[in-house]
Amino acid sequence: MGLLTNRVERSEIRAGDHIYTYRAVFAYSHHGIFVGGSKVVHFTRVETPNHSDDDEEMIALPSSCPIFPDCGFRQPKSGVVLSCLDCFLQNGSLYSFEYGVTPSVFLAKVRGGTCTTAPSDPPEAVIHRAMYLLQNGFGNYDVFQNNCEDFTLYCKTGLLTVDSLGVGRSGQASSVIGAPLAALLSSPLKLLMPSPVGVATVTAGMYCMSRYATDIGVRTDVIKVAVEDLAVNLGWPVSNEVEIEEITR
């Protein structure tokens, strides 16, 4: 992995890793937790008649996987899904999300949703959270406050945003909001900077700083929440637990 790409080979990933792949010609990325055994736990929008088929997180899950019969397992009305790695990637490339990067490396990454300055918890804790949420759900999907990247970031760190009205933990969401905000804030500088290069440089700097300010590794409005207390703290309904230990074997 490097500054330009986090692409990895399948042989390089380990259980507990945060992986992702790009959809719609790199328009957005879909994230999940690799739990071993060629299985991935990830968070998607629950399909309802009110959502169109082209919603970005409406992942087309196969009705029957030719390799793994439990691929596509989910609890009723839950967006947390267990998929095999092939079905998760959908012929896309495999990328690994980086944790504990330095501020300079974070700022050098032009695109959000690829790394964080926050450290990762041990793989055992990560897998426990992912499998627990597979049983109990992760609330309602929201593109800005509770998406697939928010799910994987929580599984990896246990950090939850206190301010429910602000942007979530997702680097992708921060980038979407940060880009137009940076352009808006830098627009008055056009009167002071005749050079387009100067304005572009300032805009790029504001964009990077807005991304950095919303990273969970530097935010002050995040707290550590045990996965067993997640539903109670946020008022999510808790489904009946079922035995799914055999799923990842």
- Identify the weakest region by mean pLDDT among 55-64, 86-95, 96-105, 223-232: 55-64
Higher pLDDT, 79 or 207: 79
Closest alpha carbon to 79 in 61, 97, 91, 54: 61
| Kind plus residue range of the DSSP H or E element containing 160 | strand 159-161
Looking at residue 105, what is its pLDDT? 92
Looking at residue 189, what is its pLDDT? 44
Q: Which domains does the chain have, with CATH numbers?
A: 10-237 (3.90.1720.10)
| Tokens (6 digits) for 74 | 């989910």
d(CA 40, CA 20): 10
| Tokens (6 digits) for 160 | 């939850």
Greatest mean pLDDT among 37-46, 176-185, 191-200: 37-46
d(CA 180, CA 182): 5
Average pLDDT over residues 26-47: 93
Average pLDDT over residues 67-87: 94
93-127 residues labelled b (16+ CB within 10 A) or e (exposed): ebbbbbbebeeeebeebeebbbbbbbebbebebbb
Predicted confidence band at 27 (pLDDT cuts at 50, 70, 90)?
A: confident
User: β-strands 18-23, 95-96: how paired?
Assistant: antiparallel
d(CA 102, CA 109): 11
Q: What is the CB neighbour count within 10 angstroms for residue 187?
A: 11
Q: Please list the active-site residues.
A: 30, 42, 148
If phi > 0 it is left, if psi is from -120 to 50 it is alpha, else beta; for residue 235 that is left
pLDDT in tens, 85-123: 999 999 999 999 999 999 999 988 878 889 999 999 999
| Kind plus residue range of the DSSP H or E element containing 177 | helix 171-186
Residue-averaged pLDDT of the chain = 79
Looking at residue 95, what is its pLDDT? 97
Looking at residue 158, what is its pLDDT? 96
Higher pLDDT, 221 or 196: 221
Average pLDDT over residues 36-59: 73
